Structure 1
Amino acid sequence: MDDVLESRVRARLPQDARREQLIEAAITAIAEHGLSNITLSKVASLAGLTAGMVNFHFKSKQELLQATLSRMAETYRTLCESAVATAGRAPEAALMALIRASFDPEVASLERLAVWYAFWGESRARDDYMAIVGTSDRAFYDAVHALMAELAERTGARIELRAAALGLCGLVDALSQEALVQHEAFDWDDAADTCRRYLANLFPAEFAAPARLRLVAEEDAPASSALPATLPGWTYADPDFHAAEIERIHRPAWHLVAHVSELPNPGDYVTFEALGERAFVIRGENGGIRAFHNVCRHRAHAVLEGRDGHCSGLIRCPYHAWCYAWDGRLRAVAAAKTFPEIETSGLGLVPLDSEVFAGFVFLRFRGGGPSVAERYAPYAAELAAHRIEEMVPIADYWIGGIDADWKNVWDNYLEDYHFPTGHPGLFGLMSGAYDREPDDETRTIRLSHALRRDPDGGWSTRAYARALPDVPHLPEALQRRWTYLFLYPAVSLELYPDMLDYFHILPAGPGRSILRWRAYARPDDRRAMQVTRRLNLRVNNRVHDEDAALIRSVQQGLAGSAYGAGVLGEKEINLRAFQGWIRQDMPGMAL
C-alpha cells in the first residue's frame, strides 16, 4: 500500500478507534498463535491493515501487548465496579454480582481467557501481567474479603476470612481454566452456581439454593389451562432477579438519548443517567456525534451537568477544572505542576458505543450484538416515510418514576386486549384489526392500527379524527395510521401521521421504573396540524394516566399471595414473545 492510500485509510477512523481495532486483532492473534509466536504482521493482517499502520499507533510489539493487557484489565475492573454498584446493599448480592462479572463474555470468552493465561503462563510476560493486572486481582480479593467480613459479622458465622476469600478467588480462576479445556461444552451458568454452592458452605441461609430463582415451569402454570404461562409474579420485584436483569438485559441494550435536532452545533451535548451509570452524547467539530461516560478521570465527578447544554471549546469538569476535548482526550490539568508526570493519553474520557439511527442518538453500556439499524431493518421503509431526521421537539422532555417493574410496564404496553375496558377513548379511535407482529430474529415488535373516520369515544378522539389533515410526504397507507415499533428491552418509537414520540422504560430498582418521553414533528404551520397535535397529546396523556393506574394495581397483585403465574391468550402474542426473550436472556434462572 503506498503512502497516499495508507494516509487515507488512517483518516477513516479516529486514532482511538484504530488503536482499539488493533488491540482486538492482537487479542485474536494471541489466542490463535500464543504469546511467543505473535508478530506485528499477524496482528496487521487480522486487522486488515499494514504493518506500517501498526507501527504508527504502537512503537513496538511490547507496547501493543501491554496496551492489550491494560485494556482487558480496565474492562474487568469496570465490570466488577459496575456489578457491585448495581447489586444494592446486600453483601450476598454483591458477591454473586462479582462472580457474574468474572464470567462475563467481555473478559471471559474463550478468546480472552486464552490471552489472560498466555500472559500468566509465559515467564517473560509474567512481570507485565503482575504490573498491569496485579492491582485488579488484589482489588477483587479485597472486595471479596470485605463482603465476606460483612456477612460474617451480620450472621455470626465463624470462618477464617482470608482462607474463605482466597478459596472463592481460586475457584473462579479454576473454573475459567476449565472453560478453556471444555470450550463450547462449558456451562457458565453452572459455573456461577458452583461458586454459589461454595458460598453456601460458608453462609448457608444467604446462599441456599434459591428455588424461587427459576422461571415458571409447565407444572407451575394454573392446572385449569393449557395456555402459555406468564412470568411468575415474584420476578417483578425480586432483588436478585433485578440485579441479574441489569447485567444480562439492560447493560447490553440500546438506549435512546436524544434526537439529532437537540444537538445542532459542535459542542452541544445531552446527558443520560441510568442503571447506575452517567453518560453523555456530544456533537464534535466534524459534525459527528459520540458518547462517553460522564465521569472525570481524576476524581469521578460528572464533567457535564444538567440535561443538556453547550461546551465552548473544551469540556471542563466543574470539580477541579480538568479539561477534555470534544473527542474525549484529556487536554489540560489544573495546577499540573502539583502532580507527578502524567501520561495524558491514558486519561481521556471513557467512550461508549453510540449510533445515530432515524434521527435518534442511541448508546449502550456494553458492546456487542447487532446495531439499532440492523434490528429496526424490518421497518426501515415505514420509518423512512415519516422523515424523522427532519423533525424537531414539540414538547418538553419528560421523565418520571412509577412504582412498577419495567416488565409490568411493557406487559401492559404490548397488548391491546385491555383496550375496550382500559382505554375506551383510544379503542373508539381504532378501526378494524390491530396488527400484532413480533419478530424473534430482531427482537422487535410492530403494533399498528388504522383510524376510524367517525370514531366513538370522547370529544378529544372525535375532534382529532376530524381535524387530522393530509400529510403530503406520507403514503396513503400511513395517512391515518398509528404504529408503535418496540425495540427490546427498553424503547418504543410511536409513529403518528402528525407527530412522533418515543417511550423509554428503565429499571430503577426491584419493582420500580423510570419512564422517559418526548414528542417531535416536522415543521408545519398549518392551523389544522397545530390543533391535531394538541389533541394527539391530550388523547395520549389520558391513555398514560389510565395505564399508570392499571400498572400500579397489577404490581400490587403480583406481590400478593394469590398470584403465582397467569395465562396468555391469542391477543397477547406480543407478551409471549417479550417474556420469551426474557427467558432466553436469563438461562440460569429458567429451570
Structure 2
Amino acid sequence: MAPLDTATRGGETPMPTTTDDPVRGLPAWTYRNAELLDLEYQRVILGSWQIACHANDVRQPGDYFVLELMRDSVLVLRGDDGVVRAFANVCRHRGSKLLDGTGNCPKAVVCPYHGWAYELDGRLKGVPSERSFPGLDKATLGLREIELEVFFGFVFVRVARPEDHQGPDSVAETWGDFAEHLKPYRLEEMERIEFGDDMVWDANWKVGVDNNLENYHIPLGHPGYHRMLDNQMEGFENAHGVAGSISTLKQRPSSNWVERMYQKLAPTVLAAYPEQLRKQWLFFTMPPNIGLDFYPDCVDYFQILPLGPTRCQVRYGIYGHKDERREMRLLRYLNYRINGKVGEEDRWLSERVQQGLASHGYDPGPLSRIESSLRLFHQQIREACPVASLDEEPLPGTVRQRDAELLAAE
C-alpha cells in the first residue's frame, strides 16, 4: 500500500462533515467524580488493549517490563522458551507485588516477601517451608496469565476481557487495513531510545485523551507545529475508532532554528524511506487512550492513564532503528526538543481545561466536526457508563446505583 497522503488513504472513512444537531461533550462533573472513575477503570481501561512496551525491551529470557495501571500491575516477561507472556504482577501467596520497572531475572521470579519462586513461564517453582502448607497444590498456584498480543513489535495487554464485547477482539483487527500503512517503518526492528520521561498531569484522564484526539487546538496551542508543519485538521478514521491525521513539513523554513534545522535534515537523512515519508509526520490514535506517532527518525507512543479523578499519568515510549550517524543523532535530538515542548504545551492546556471544568454553571459547548474522534470517545464512555450521560451529577455514593438503573432501563 502506498504511503498515506491527503489524496489517497486506502479506504478509510473521512471525518463526517455535517451534523443535524450540535453534538456536545460530556458533562463537566464526569471529569472530577471519583465514583465514575472507578466505573471507567473497570469498564473501559481494564477491558481495552493497553500498550506495555516493545518486544525488544524484553529481548532475552528473564527480561521483564512492568506496566503500572491505576490499581493493577502487569508483568511482561520473556520465558526460557523465547515466548513473551504477561502476568498479574502479584504473588499468589499473600498478594505482594513481585517486580518493579524493568530488568532481568535469569532463573526465576522471586517474591520479595516470603520467597515464593515462579518459573519464567509463570509456574510456581518453589515454596519455602513447603511442608508447612498442608495439601499445597503448586500446579494451581502459578502466576495469573493476562492476554497479550504483539502488534508490529509493540506488546499490548488486556487485563479483563470485556463483557458483551462487540466488534474486533484483537489489536490487529482493530487496526484493520490501517496496518498496511505501518509496514514501511519496520517497527519490529526498532529499539527504545533512551530519552523521554513520563509525566503526571493535574487533569482527569479524559481531558488528556480529549486533547490528544483533535487537531483543532494546534494553531494556537502548538505554535511550533504551526510554524513547521502543514497540519491536516479533520483527519480520517476506520470503523473501529482508530483515527489518524497527516502533517507535512512545510517548504517555508520556520523562524525557530530547531524547527528549521529539522525541516532541512529530515528529507535527507533517511534515504531508504520513500520521499513522502521523509517529509511526513503521521499521527494515529487507538481507543481509548493511546497515540502512536510516526516520524522520519523515530516512532513514539503516548498513553494516558488515570491516577485519580483529577490526575493522570502520561506514558511515553520512543523507538527507532539502530543508527549512530551524527546526522541521525542530531535529527532525533531536534525531534526531542520539538515534541518535548509540545508535551509541556499539552499539559498546560489540559490543566487549564480541568480548572475551567470546575467552574460553577459550566455547560459543555458544541463540538466541531474537526473533533469527530472526541465525539466517538465520549460515546464510548456513555455506552460503557450510562450514568455519564446525566447532565446533573448524582448525589455522593449513588453513582453506581444510578448507573445500574440506567443499564436496566436500556
Q: TM-score band, normalised by the shorter chain? A: 0.7 to 0.9
> Residue 408 of structure 1 aligns to a residue in which SS?
helix
The answer for the alignment partner of 1:12 in structure 2 is: none
Q: Is 1:235 aligned to 2:33, yes or no? A: no
Q: Is 1:505 aligned to 2:299, yes or no? A: no
Q: Is the 8 A contact 1:352 1:364 kept in 2?
A: yes
Q: Is the 8 A contact 1:436 1:574 kept in 2?
A: no
Question: Which of 460, 468, 471 pairs up with 2:258?
Answer: 460
Q: Is 1:247 aligned to 2:247, yes or no? A: no
The answer for the alignment partner of 2:3 in structure 1 is: none
Distance change in 2, residues 1:434/1:475 (3 Å):
farther
Structure with the higher strand share, 1 or 2: 2
Amino acid corresponding to residue 340 of structure 1 in structure 2: P
Tell me how far apart the structure 2 counterparts of residues 270 and 387 of structure 1 sit (CA, whole Å).
22
Matches within 5 A, 1:93-172: none
Q: Cα RMSD between the aligned structures? A: 1.8
Distance change in 2, residues 1:519/1:321 (3 Å):
same
Deviation of 1:411 after TM superposition, in Å, equals 1.3
The answer for the alignment partner of 1:82 in structure 2 is: none
The answer for the alignment partner of 1:329 in structure 2 is: 123
Q: Is the 8 A contact 1:353 1:365 kept in 2?
A: yes
Percent identity between the two aligned chains: 37
The answer for the alignment partner of 1:526 in structure 2 is: 325
Q: Is the 8 A contact 1:511 1:555 kept in 2?
A: yes
Amino acid corresponding to residue 246 of structure 2 in structure 1: S
Tell me how far apart the structure 2 counterparts of residues 397 and 539 of structure 1 sit (CA, whole Å).
12
Q: Is the 8 A contact 1:258 1:361 kept in 2?
A: yes
Structure with the higher helix share, 1 or 2: 1
Deviation of 1:584 after TM superposition, in Å, equals 2.5
Deviation of 1:397 after TM superposition, in Å, equals 5.7
The answer for the alignment partner of 1:475 in structure 2 is: 274
Deviations 1:439-463 (A, max 9, x none): 3x31211122111133334221111
> Residue 401 of structure 1 aligns to a residue in which SS?
strand
The answer for the alignment partner of 1:302 in structure 2 is: 97
The answer for the alignment partner of 2:56 in structure 1 is: 261
The answer for the alignment partner of 2:379 in structure 1 is: 580
Gap runs ≥5 in structure 2:
1-19, 391-410
Deviation of 1:320 after TM superposition, in Å, equals 0.9
The answer for the alignment partner of 2:15 in structure 1 is: none
Tell me how far apart the structure 2 counterparts of residues 261 and 320 of structure 1 sit (CA, whole Å).
31
Gap runs ≥5 in structure 1:
1-224
Matches within 5 A, 1:11-410: 226-304=21-99, 306-368=100-162, 370-396=169-195, 398-410=197-209
Deviation of 1:311 after TM superposition, in Å, equals 1.2
Greater alpha carbon shift after TM alignment, 369-378 vs 352-361 = 369-378
Question: Which of 490, 512, 516 pairs up with 2:315?
Answer: 516
Amino acid corresponding to residue 502 of structure 1 in structure 2: Y
Tell me how far apart the structure 2 counterparts of residues 339 and 397 of structure 1 sit (CA, whole Å).
46
> Residue 235 of structure 2 aligns to a residue in which SS?
strand
Amino acid corresponding to residue 270 of structure 1 in structure 2: F
Q: Is the 8 A contact 1:251 1:275 kept in 2?
A: no
Deviation of 1:303 after TM superposition, in Å, equals 2.1
Deviation of 1:317 after TM superposition, in Å, equals 1.0
Distance change in 2, residues 1:551/1:457 (3 Å):
farther
Tell me how far apart the structure 2 counterparts of residues 414 and 334 of structure 1 sit (CA, whole Å).
51
The answer for the alignment partner of 1:538 in structure 2 is: 337
- Indicate the structure whose relative CO is greater, using CA pairs within 8 Å and at least 6 residues apart: 2
Tell me how far apart the structure 1 counterparts of residues 367 and 91 of structure 2 sit (CA, whole Å).
48
Amino acid corresponding to residue 514 of structure 1 in structure 2: Q
Q: Is the 8 A contact 2:51 2:154 kept in 1?
A: yes
> Residue 398 of structure 1 aligns to a residue in which SS?
coil
Tell me how far apart the structure 2 counterparts of residues 417 and 458 of structure 1 sit (CA, whole Å).
22
The answer for the alignment partner of 1:446 in structure 2 is: 244
The answer for the alignment partner of 1:418 in structure 2 is: 217
> Residue 378 of structure 2 aligns to a residue in which SS?
helix
Deviation of 1:526 after TM superposition, in Å, equals 2.4
TM-score (norm 2): 0.85
Distance change in 2, residues 1:589/1:538 (3 Å):
closer
Deviation of 1:390 after TM superposition, in Å, equals 0.8
Deviations 1:323-357 (A, max 9, x none): 11111111111111222131111111111001111
Tell me how far apart the structure 1 counterparts of residues 317 and 388 of structure 2 sit (CA, whole Å).
35
Deviation of 1:366 after TM superposition, in Å, equals 0.4
Q: How many residues align?
A: 365
Q: Is the 8 A contact 2:26 2:389 kept in 1?
A: no
The answer for the alignment partner of 1:427 in structure 2 is: 226
Q: Is 1:560 aligned to 2:359, yes or no? A: yes
Deviation of 1:387 after TM superposition, in Å, equals 0.5
> Residue 547 of structure 1 aligns to a residue in which SS?
helix
Greater alpha carbon shift after TM alignment, 534-543 vs 556-565 = 556-565
The answer for the alignment partner of 1:29 in structure 2 is: none
Tell me how far apart the structure 1 counterparts of residues 344 and 382 of structure 2 sit (CA, whole Å).
30
Greater alpha carbon shift after TM alignment, 477-486 vs 350-359 = 477-486
Deviations 1:252-302 (A, max 9, x none): 011111111111101111111113011201011221100000111111112
Tell me how far apart the structure 2 counterparts of residues 553 and 332 of structure 1 sit (CA, whole Å).
52
Amino acid corresponding to residue 407 of structure 1 in structure 2: K
> Residue 581 of structure 1 aligns to a residue in which SS?
helix
- Structure ID, larger Rg: 1
> Residue 579 of structure 1 aligns to a residue in which SS?
helix
Tell me how far apart the structure 2 counterparts of residues 579 and 590 of structure 1 sit (CA, whole Å).
9
Amino acid corresponding to residue 506 of structure 1 in structure 2: L
Tell me how far apart the structure 2 counterparts of residues 493 and 485 of structure 1 sit (CA, whole Å).
5
> Residue 270 of structure 2 aligns to a residue in which SS?
coil
Distance change in 2, residues 1:453/1:524 (3 Å):
farther
> Residue 567 of structure 1 aligns to a residue in which SS?
coil
Deviations 1:52-104 (A, max 9, x none): xxxxxxxxxxxxxxxxxxxxxxxxxxxxxxxxxxxxxxxxxxxxxxxxxxxxx
Q: Is the 8 A contact 1:435 1:449 kept in 2?
A: no
Q: Is the 8 A contact 1:485 1:493 kept in 2?
A: yes
Tell me how far apart the structure 2 counterparts of residues 257 and 509 of structure 1 sit (CA, whole Å).
20
Q: Is the 8 A contact 2:124 2:142 kept in 1?
A: yes
Tell me how far apart the structure 2 counterparts of residues 378 and 450 of structure 1 sit (CA, whole Å).
22
Q: Is the 8 A contact 1:461 1:535 kept in 2?
A: yes
Tell me how far apart the structure 1 counterparts of residues 216 and 161 of structure 2 sit (CA, whole Å).
36
Distance change in 2, residues 1:356/1:252 (3 Å):
same
Amino acid corresponding to residue 148 of structure 2 in structure 1: S
Deviation of 1:375 after TM superposition, in Å, equals 0.9
Tell me how far apart the structure 1 counterparts of residues 198 and 79 of structure 2 sit (CA, whole Å).
27
